[in-house]
Structure 1
Amino acid sequence: MEGSFTLPREGSTSDPLRIAVLISGGGSGLASILAYESLEPRSFHTVLVLADSDEAGGLDHARKAGIDSIGIPLPRIVDKKEQRLKHEDLVHEQLEKYNTELIALAGYMRIFTPVFVGKWKGRLINIHPSLLPKYPGAHAHRDALADGAVISGCTVHFVDEGVDTGRIISQSEVPVLTGDNIGDLQNRVKAAEHALYPRTIDAIAKNPGLFVDRQDG
């Protein structure tokens, strides 16, 4: 099931785009988005933070900023497919309740089904720790080092029905240094992510049509 590609409306400082940030862990990416928002009026405003666990540490960032934060664990359903779809239904319900206009995945470790993506396609973005299309998937830093890469970085992209295959919005390069291990490269890329993601979200909010046509079949 593939949904139509529909971008959000144009936001402004007087009428900012309503975004939800989805996390799984400590939420350092979320913290960078909230810090960017706090500096001056932006064309987007975080209205909701969702996590796939009640225990996700990043929920505290939202609470401290006065933003509604909700943990939605996987429901207790034996059938894995049914469990996954029900979980996505619960996430979708909250996004709709808060009139979400753009979803930013920030360290969210679940892969959405085509059913969910179809509902939000064009309004669902992610940041990945490599220069896509190189090194997709969960082990980007390991793969970059194993490949002998001298440049890595991060990519903000629209989410489609594949894994890290959506069209690219923005990228930032970082060097891979001699002697780097996975942790070294991860920390360097993470710093680039924290600079790139908030700026890109703001750019999308200001002018969605700058990136793709408003309808993309």
Structure 2
Amino acid sequence: MTAGTTNVVVLISGSGTNLQALIDARDRGVLNAELCAVISNRPDAYGLQRAERAAIATEVLDHTAFASRDAFDAAMAALIDGYRPDLVVLAGFMRILTPAFVQRYAGRMLNIHPSLLPKYQGLHTHRRALEAGDREHGVTVHFVTEELDGGPAVIQARVPVRPGDTVETLANRVRQQEHIIYPMAVQWFSAARLRMADNRSWLDGEPLPRHGYLIDNTG
């Protein structure tokens, strides 16, 4: 690792589109971070192939081989720590993390969630937004805390919900914003501009609003 470069470990479970966004940002020179490893709890995750093509180390730790969530998380933490990361990035990692794991990486673990948090924590966010008749939807990058999808927001992108939208069309619109804001947040952290303190996100020494830095695409 080059002195002053942020070491990042990315955790995935699936296709890895947000991982690809990070790789692309690195390759364009707009993300100054070392993507030192990609770890998946699923051996068939397509994101592993993306990492291999980008010459990033890959690891598989199959959660089905462990008797308990605590045992899996302990093994995962040991694997992560072998890469000495400054930041852990959850990019479609479909596991609920134990308190001990979250505390281990407090203030240095980010997640991306496809809703305008605190709305629609958990699953099926696009369907829930459509069923509620929402006029706007979006995505939030946040620090990870013990509350599921409840950590301090870093950056949020809003998109319109259009007449005739389906889960798929809305998801695609949100995903476009995911690929923009996740590299931004990781770069802020890498540049020592972003931190978590007092259960708030801070950017350039100032506390961010509860919704984080806002990108509004609804106009």
| Separation of aligned partners in 1, 2:196 and 2:81 | 24
2:215 paired residue number = none
Q: Which has the higher contact order (CA 8 A, sep 6+)?
A: 1
In the TM superposition, what whole-angstrom CA distance separates every residue of 1:81-115 from its partner, at most 9, and x where no partner exists?
xx211111121111110001101101111010101
How far 1:76 moved relative to its partner?
Answer: 3.2
Unaligned 5+ segments in structure 2 are: 201-219
In the TM superposition, what whole-angstrom CA distance separates every residue of 1:115-167 from its partner, at most 9, and x where no partner exists?
11011111111000011011111111111111111111100001111111101
| Runs of 4 or more above 4 Å deviation | none
SS in 1 for 2:63: coil
Does 1:154 pair with 2:127?
Answer: no
**Normalized per residue, which structure has more strand?**
2
1:36 paired residue number = 25
Does 1:68 pair with 2:57?
Answer: yes
| Separation of aligned partners in 1, 2:126 and 2:28 | 31
TM-score (norm 1): 0.87
Match of 2:121 among 136, 155, 161: 136
SS in 1 for 2:118: coil
Contact 1:55 1:71 in 2 (8 A): no
Does 1:106 pair with 2:91?
Answer: yes
Closer, same or farther in 2 for the Cα pair 1:175/1:216, shift >3 Å? closer
How far 1:216 moved relative to its partner?
Answer: 5.9
Residue type of the alignment partner of 1:66:
A
How far 1:212 moved relative to its partner?
Answer: 3.5
Contact 1:22 1:50 in 2 (8 A): yes
Does 1:190 pair with 2:175?
Answer: yes
Unaligned 5+ segments in structure 1 are: 1-12
In the TM superposition, what whole-angstrom CA distance separates every residue of 1:167-190 from its partner, at most 9, and x where no partner exists?
111111111110111111111101
RMSD: 1.8
SS in 2 for 1:131: coil
